[in-house]
Structures are given as C-alpha cells and as structure tokens.
Structure 1
Amino acid sequence: MSSSTTARTPAVRAAKARWARRRRRLIGYGLWDPFMPAEPVRAHLAALAEIGMPRKGVEEALGFSRDALRHVTSGTYGYGRGEKITRELGEAVLGFWPKLADFPDSASVSPLGTLRRVEALAVVGWSRAQVAARLGRSYVSFKNSLKRERISAALAKAVASAYDELWNQRPEDHGIPVWNADRVRRQAQADGFYGPLAWDDEDIDNPDALPQDDAEAPAPTQGENVADRYLLGESVVLDAAARRAALLHLMEWTDLSVEQVADRLEMTEAAVSRAWERAKARARVEGCRAPWRRVYVSQRDLVGEEAADAA
C-alpha cells in the first residue's frame, strides 16, 4: 500500500481530525505551545551518552521512530542542530534515565554495578572464577574485563542475570566444596565487600548509591538451654558455647555426616572435625568417657574418624 493511500485511510483521517480539533481548542485558550527549547534535551542526551547510552538506544527504549532525535544532536538534511523540539518528545527524553536492561548489548558502560554484583556474590561464597564459568568465559578474561574503565553492556547484563540467579543460593548446594566457599566468604569479609542485602536492585548500578550496612549483627539468644532450644527447632542465635554443645549432640546422637552438621551450624567441615576431636581429647584428659558416634554413619565418615584417631 502506498503512502498516499495510507494517508487517506479512515483511521488516519480520524486521527488527524482529532489532532486538528485539539490544536484549535488550545489556540483558542492561548495554551498552544507544541515546542520547547532543544538545548536541555541535547544536554540530557549528552549525559546519557557519557554513561554509554547512544541516541539510537534512547529512541529504541522510548519507542520513538528511528532518527527521531537526530535533528537535536547532529541536524538533518544539511541543516544544523535544531533549536526546538516537540514538547512530547522533549519531555519524554528529559524524564528518561536508563536501567541496565535498556542499554544495547554493544554499548560500553561503567563496570561499577557489575563489580558490586560480583563482590556481593563473593560475600555469599561465589568466587569470580565460578561466576566466569557460569558465563562461559575464562577466569583471566573475566578478571581483566572487570579492571577496565568500561565494559560491554552484554557482559554487564550476563553478570546481572547470574547475580539474580545466585544471590540467595549457597555454593555448597551446587557442588562447590565447603572449604572453597568458606574461603571466598572470609576473603570477601576481609576486603570489606557488601552482600546482596546491602543493595536495592534499582540502585546497584547507580554510582551515587550507598550500601545499606546499618543493620546490627544478631546478638546471641539469651536465656537457659539455648542449645536444646536450637535442637528442638526454635529460631535462636548460638553463642560459642551453645554452638559447641549443639555440635557435640549432632555428632554423637544423629546420623548426620560431618558435611551436614557443618551446613546446619554454618561452619566448615574442618572446623566441625576439629571441634569433635578436641572434645574427645578433652574427655580422655579428664578421665571421662569420650563421645562417640552412636548412630549409623556413612563409611566415608567412619574412615575419616579412624584416620583421625590413628593420627
């Protein structure tokens, strides 16, 4: 269908008639002002370009036609840059600030939000090498990318997708050794990284956003029989003594493996094994009956205990 035919369709004629009536009414009220200065819009587009959002990306994100803003930034058909823009387009541009998903994959963006996501995942226990593997990239390539002043929007989006998937997932539940995840968590704490709960999804890419780190650490639960209450399922926070008592009960009176006990008490397997061996050694020194695993445990755990006793 030709453009001239399209212009004569009933729908197009009705739309033009409505626009003409609105124009006449606003003119009659003295309110007809269809244009606004282009300079504020041009400055806003320049600010968007500085963070990696090109003009064409703005047009696509706002649903504008191709080159709808070209006359503002560079001019069209040999004319210089326009000094006016329709109010509808101008106000839409001035009200727009992109989220990460709005950037074209080819855009170059700040790595700040990506670094925050990677650091937050480290607090959970996910190393950069593990994140890189999930993205299908080599660790060296991924590490070097994060050191650059700008990264591709495609990489930033891929990291954001991995972050959305992993921020509340323990690495141990995905086949990562406990010692590995615990080492990553300790290093993240030493480096002062902030976890996922410190960032709002809307602000994590904002360079002016600050982490919400004002939450107080939970204090150990007060009262008697804290370890017993924990073992009965009450939501309590264990201090060192209560944690040790709970550990000894779980190791002696349940069939949980060392790994399962460590997971339940949020400890490493090595820490659980050391605490268990210290308890047995202390009992022998004091002339008391040494604790022992009364319930069936896997052959693997038995072999581990025999090796520890032999040592």
Structure 2
Amino acid sequence: MTTATTREAPHHNTLTCVKDYNCWLPACRDRYKAYQRTRYHAITAGTWEPLVDAAPVRQHLTRLYAAGFSPNRIGELTNLPYETVIGFTQVHGFSGKRRSRKRRCNPETAAKILAIQPGEHLPGKTDATGTRRRIQALVAAGWPLSHLGPRFGLSERTTGALLTQDRVYGRTAEKVTRVYNELSDQKPAKHGISRRSITRSKARAQRNRWATIGYWATRADAIDDPHFTPDYKVTKAEILAEETRWLIETVGLTRTEVAERLGKDRSYIDRVLLQADVKAAA
C-alpha cells in the first residue's frame, strides 16, 4: 500500500535493505542469498576479496566532478546511493555522525563507478528531489532564500524556482549539496541574518510542512530518493486518508468496505477524506 511503501528502506538495489532493515521483499532476499552463495564459494576457493583499494575510485570521481558530473548524476548512472558516492571524496554525515572518506570498497561498487566515462555520458540534468529538500530544510532552519541564493551562485528568484522544478543541472545540485553540508550544523544568526528574517523563513517552512535538517539527518539515504515520501508532521488522519484513497482507487473497495477493513466507522472515513480535500484545495 502507498503508506507502507514510504516506510520501507529507501533503497532496494543493494544488500543494505536486508542487512540493516531486515527487508523481506523476494527480490532482495534472492539477491542477498546469491551474494552469500558467491561469498561462500569464493572463500572455499581462497579467492574471496571483499574489499579493494578506494584510491583509484576516488581519483576517477575527481575527474568526473571536473567534467561536470555531480554525485547525484553519478548515483543515477551507477544506481548507487548518494552517500556511497560522496563517501569516496569527502567527510560526510552530520555533527556527531560524520564518517571519514572511504579507504576500501567492494569490487562491484568500484567497477560501477570506474565504468563511467565522460565521453559516453553527459552530465545533463538530474532529479531535483534532493535539491528541493535540502533548500526546504535550510529554510526551515531559518536561512532565507536571499542569503542562500548567492551561496549557490544563483539569484533569489532562481533559487526559489528550484523549489518547483522536477529536474536541475547536475552542477546546481552539487552546489546545493555542498552548501547544505556546510550550513547544516550552523546558526543563521551567526552569519548576520536578522531575527526577523530567520522567523519569516521558519514560518514559511512550517506553513508548507517542510522537513527539517534534523529529520533528514536520520534519513540520509532517503533525501535524494523521489520514491520516499516524508512523513514529517503528517497526522494520523492524513495517513488514514491516503490509505483510504489507495484502497478505493487501486484495490477498488467502496468506502464501506474500506471502513470494515481498517476497523473504522464509515462516518470517520468520510470525515478524514473531506478534511483532506479541503486542505488540498486550500
């Protein structure tokens, strides 16, 4: 169901979802079992090399960045999480949870990154999900767009437009990511931003229910995932309304049948749907 999907592990293309999230999707379990079989046979044959030197990967990434590729774009081409890509070239994470640059990595990850050749792929545009969320989180922390724009190398108007775009240039996404990492644990007031501007920025974020830096700090892998729906300040009634719509539109149940399945009164189902419609129209 839609609601349940947003609460699964952000990525289902590596072993992480099984190891860290105990994912039970059949495809993920099959991939994990295949990995374990390969590992067992390699260990038995004495050829098991789980990790390789990350230096060649880091050097290659440096060349890709110089050619205009952003970590987001590289993630798209390799199907690797953003955190995995930046982990080769920079200290990442948030205060108290920072990780040093990778010194070793698994051969499969190295091969995927080393296979990218600038002449075969264009930096182009990348999904704007992570860019939007990072800007929103900074605004929620009190950073006004008029201050963020120059840091991104953009005007305030262009920065505001990024909040409505589906795709952005890779270099823009990279700049926003870099500034976000720099400002994520700093206070706007210490950079000369007035209390009034900070209050207005926070109020704007609250009206739009934009997730905060603290929210994304516990979901680092999800901030760039367009399939992950933040549940920041989502009420139980809104979750129920979303669940109800999914059952009606996808499964084909009536409102009465939905009420019976969810263990709710029909009148309550009608009320949460009405409230959701009113908010959507506001």
TM range, normalised to the smaller chain? 0.3 to 0.5
Structure 2 length normalisation: TM-score?
A: 0.39
